[in-house]
Structure 1
């Protein structure tokens, strides 16, 4: 079983992990660490970064993943940078590279605001802590409910080390440590965070593009209280990927590396083929994601360029690509003949519609300038083979643009079914670490990777399941239940899903990954 060390943030102790702790204990050997002066830990006479890190490191097991929230996340990055032989991975929640802004780092809290807060705590600790609790929930889509929950958390009595920790937080600069991280990392940010601006996510991505960075929508600083299931899911898949790469014989059976289930391509083709006539009427998410991916396209292409829409479906975006590049030869490839037939009869103009599997394309070597693929590659089981095939058909300096789904997609649906039975009800989606590893193995060069959560809302569970069926995107995994689902199980599932209901309705969250890559021109590169 993998070792997972949890480090809390300022103004609390290890009890702040309550919403995610039981689930994390099911997938890892969890160790809770209280910072010096917090919880039951003794005070430090001299509160310095080195002294705090030494105290934490002395308690940590070998080969651990360190996970921290806020100040704890910043300390986790420092620990990973200082102990690369001891720490195999790092996870941070709502943790900036610098908590306080500087002229060369504006994506942080204003220095005047930080100074005012620290002075307020020195003068009236209890009143400032009440303000702080409000800031943890501020901006969240469930702010009032979140604030009530946080106010019930016991945080202990403030002491001198709490003020010392505020001084340390203001001084911390993790930019160099983050930029030089060699271990795999997962870093979650909250879109509506009142303490760490969401712009910090982009700033950290610029510092180190090998780290996995994700923003949770409509979420405040206490993101593991606001969306505990989303945090659990993405952390779980990060640990799964990490465990697989470690190839340790000591792993828990729940974290033992497994090959993703092979998807039945025939069933995929049939499912989407049957959905061709209804697809466009319910494909708002697909429209939004594809439209966002269009923004990554180059403005101009070489003469006589070829553009491929891979997984073109009904041809909606193939037609848009044709309008953007009227002089280019346009191709739409899809595995579902029903989709291709619909595309041919719907879209006029010279577009070549080809039936084909993304992992075995009916195209010549080095024949395509741009591959555009929106929400299609998640139906591919063999990512290394897929990326090798895309590398094969791309011309030197060709561009690859992909939008796909990440592991926390439909986590509400998965969690609700987990309350009912042990079957697989939601398709497995690969984490960015698997995708980028396959990309690197193929020889393609990653240019950019962005990850965002998009949430749709439904009045009833039936509305969501009906939409998934109309899209052809229902469950086709091995391990799914066979035959009809009983009324009792359906009722239990619907009741479990109701726990996620918000004022906007029942949420269905999609973990969307946008990736751009290029094929290096070997002759120019070595020339």
Structure 2
């Protein structure tokens, strides 16, 4: 069962929906919000258990319920953009409710986050350690996760400060949602389903990302159909929209314009 989520919409133009990642909330989009709102009608969604929806927990808290909760509150025919865990939710919505999605943009996201023999990703021990640490010290664990996200970026310290100041206006995430979110990152594998998507899909990867390796670029180009495109930001880590705002916005708009011309 899913709960009705609060959302916020600002700006005017085609519908754009933004889904944030693990441990943060929709405030994370603040560095690019004003520019996007000049071009789009932007709907900001806090995932269940996060931000303004910290009390709205989907039960069971799994990817299918997260996707259903979000899909029920977003406009039809939206450009749907998801960052990290939010990108996994966006993929699930596109697969199961394609009428909601005119185009999919996946920012530092993957169909499968955990590393395996045939797949680049996060070491299983890292996700397990975060789950154990959460119970001991919630704030410290989220801080450590933010530090890993920024690792490699030239502006790592500034990036972390920007993320923290953008998200601190909203309530802290629910620990059950955080734990279940890590479990989703650990277990979900959508690789076999991705080829069935028919809308334009644009992947935006950071070459220095230690959570979603840029090697995913090869997979997108070699294994997925031609409706998938990919950009790799050479100096970015896991949050290109924060570390390289202008480059990110230019690429985002180019991908949108490209898809509307087709």
TM-score by length of 2: 0.88
Q: Which runs of 5+ in 2 are unaligned?
A: 1-12
The alpha carbon displacement at 1:223 in A equals 1.1
Structure 2 partner of 1:226: 243
Are 1:119 and 2:132 counterparts? yes
Matches within 5 A, 1:435-474: none
Are 1:168 and 2:181 counterparts? no
Structure with the bigger RCO (C-alpha within 8 Å, sep 6+) is 2
After superposition, the C-alpha distances for 1:322-372 in whole angstroms (9 at most, x for unaligned) are xxxxxxxxxxxxxxxxxxxxxxxxxxxxxxxxxxxxxxxxxxxxxxxxxxx
After superposition, the C-alpha distances for 1:188-223 in whole angstroms (9 at most, x for unaligned) are 000111211121222233331411111001111111
Question: Do 2:47 and 2:66's aligned partners in 1 also have CA atoms closer than 8 Å?
Answer: yes
The alpha carbon displacement at 1:84 in A equals 2.3
Correspondent of 1:70 among 81, 84, 88: 84
| Aligned equivalents of 2:163, 2:98: Cα separation in 1 | 34
Correspondent of 1:144 among 157, 174, 187: 157
Are 1:44 and 2:58 counterparts? yes
Q: 1:44 to 1:83 in 2, by over 3 A?
A: closer
After superposition, the C-alpha distances for 1:478-509 in whole angstroms (9 at most, x for unaligned) are xxxxxxxxxxxxxxxxxxxxxxxxxxxxxxxx
Are 1:207 and 2:214 counterparts? no
Give the 3-state SS of the residue equivalent to 1:102 in structure 2.
Answer: coil
After superposition, the C-alpha distances for 1:216-244 in whole angstroms (9 at most, x for unaligned) are 01111111100111111111122222233
Matches within 5 A, 1:501-516: none
| Aligned equivalents of 1:109, 1:206: Cα separation in 2 | 21
Matches within 5 A, 1:15-26: 15-26=27-38
Structure 1 partner of 2:201: 185
The alpha carbon displacement at 1:182 in A equals 1.1
TM-score by length of 1: 0.45
Give the 3-state SS of the residue equivalent to 1:40 in structure 2.
Answer: helix
Q: 1:77 to 1:207 in 2, by over 3 A?
A: farther
Q: 1:204 to 1:6 in 2, by over 3 A?
A: same
Structure 2 partner of 1:286: none
Are 1:83 and 2:97 counterparts? yes
Question: Do 2:58 and 2:69's aligned partners in 1 also have CA atoms closer than 8 Å?
Answer: no
Structure 1 partner of 2:25: 13
| Aligned equivalents of 1:180, 1:45: Cα separation in 2 | 27
The alpha carbon displacement at 1:123 in A equals 2.5
User: Computing the radius of gyration over CA atoms, which structure comes out larger, 1 or 2?
Assistant: 1
Structure 2 partner of 1:431: none
Structure 2 partner of 1:34: 46
Question: Do 1:37 and 1:161's aligned partners in 2 also have CA atoms closer than 8 Å?
Answer: yes
CA RMSD of aligned residues (A): 1.5
The alpha carbon displacement at 1:129 in A equals 1.1
Give the 3-state SS of the residue equivalent to 1:221 in structure 2.
Answer: coil
Q: 1:182 to 1:163 in 2, by over 3 A?
A: same
After superposition, the C-alpha distances for 1:120-149 in whole angstroms (9 at most, x for unaligned) are 123321221111121121100222322332
Are 1:94 and 2:91 counterparts? no
Structure 2 partner of 1:249: none
| Aligned equivalents of 2:134, 2:234: Cα separation in 1 | 30
Q: Which runs of 5+ in 1 are unaligned?
A: 246-527
Give the 3-state SS of the residue equivalent to 2:51 in structure 1.
Answer: coil
Question: Do 2:114 and 2:121's aligned partners in 1 also have CA atoms closer than 8 Å?
Answer: yes
Which moved further from structure 2: 147-156 or 217-226?
Answer: 147-156
The alpha carbon displacement at 1:167 in A equals 1.0
Give the 3-state SS of the residue equivalent to 1:136 in structure 2.
Answer: helix
Question: Do 1:125 and 1:158's aligned partners in 2 also have CA atoms closer than 8 Å?
Answer: no
